[in-house]
Structure 1
Amino acid sequence: MFLRITLILQTIALFAAPVTAGLLLSVPSRQPLHSAAAYTVFAVAVLQLVASVVAWRPGGGSPKPIMHAAGFLVLVSAQVALGIAHVTTLHVPLGVLLFTGSVLQLSRVWTPRSSERVSRTPSSV
């Protein structure tokens, strides 16, 4: 459950970042707002990594979510560094990639597992 919540927060934060970037383009004094959105994305990515480890430990399941969260954190770190360096030719496409990846990861966590799905075929009596 905590994993789902952090993924929702991550996706919302990643959606807010380009919105604040648009505000930054229209009013240059909005730069602190975009910075706040960027660091929120970073903080939520760290929280996502922690949530992945916590979700993995008790059940002893697959460590794949940890690897995804760690990779995502590396990409977010690169995104923040590119933004600080004003390398928009890489910053913008990487932001699109991050948002798409977050939505895909959220869809994977949100859909029920095959063992939890209810069979739609009629049972024979």
Structure 2
Amino acid sequence: MVTCEAAFALGQAALAGSFLSGHYGALDLHALNATLTGLTAVVQTIAGVLLWRLGGGPAWPAWTSALLFAAEAGQIAMGYARVLAVHVPLGVTIIACIALMLVWVWRPEGERAVAA
């Protein structure tokens, strides 16, 4: 799920860049992709809870995913409100957080266990 979330988030940045380059139809795709990104964050949160509660894994992926969803909900609201002074830096922060989660997910399991 983290990999899907990362792909959608990078797509958001690409679609925003496309819109800013004058391809105005990209804004509709940016809005659609925002919905997909938010839904993926919900599923990622559920996966994090299952990892934690049933799999005996750490709790932080569940909590981080829930916070990520909250940030994305705020991000969507700021985008529709055209509050770009919040929307753009929040988007960068969201992508950075997803990148950190992606690194954690794709680390070899032994290294992940030591880090946790």
Relative distance call for 1:115 and 1:46 in structure 2 (3 A) is closer
CA distance in 1: counterparts of 2:6 and 2:52, whole angstroms = 21
Once the two structures are TM-superposed, the CA of residue 75 in structure 1 deviates from its matched residue by 0.6
Larger CA deviation: 90-99 vs 27-36: 27-36
Aligned-partner residue type, residue 88 of structure 1: L
1:83 corresponds to 2:79:
yes
**Structure 2 equivalent of residue 71 of structure 1:** 67
CA distance in 1: counterparts of 2:39 and 2:18, whole angstroms = 22
Q: CA RMSD in A?
A: 1.8
Which structure has more relative contact order (CA 8 Å, sep 6+)? It is 1
Segments of structure 1 that go 5 or more residues without pairing to the other structure are: 1-5, 118-125
**Structure 2 equivalent of residue 121 of structure 1:** none
Once the two structures are TM-superposed, the CA of residue 63 in structure 1 deviates from its matched residue by 1.5
2:51, 2:58 within 8 Å by CA — same for their partners in 1?
no
TM-score (norm 1): 0.81
How many residue pairs end up in the alignment?
112
CA distance in 1: counterparts of 2:27 and 2:48, whole angstroms = 32
TM-score (norm 2): 0.87
Identical pairs, percent? 30
Query: Alignment partner for residue 27 of structure 1, among 19, 23, 30?
Result: 23
Relative distance call for 1:97 and 1:57 in structure 2 (3 A) is same
Larger of the two Rg values belongs to structure? 1
For residues 54-73 of structure 1, what are the alpha-carbon distances to aligned partners after superposition, in whole Å with 9 as ceiling and x for unaligned?
21222233311111111111
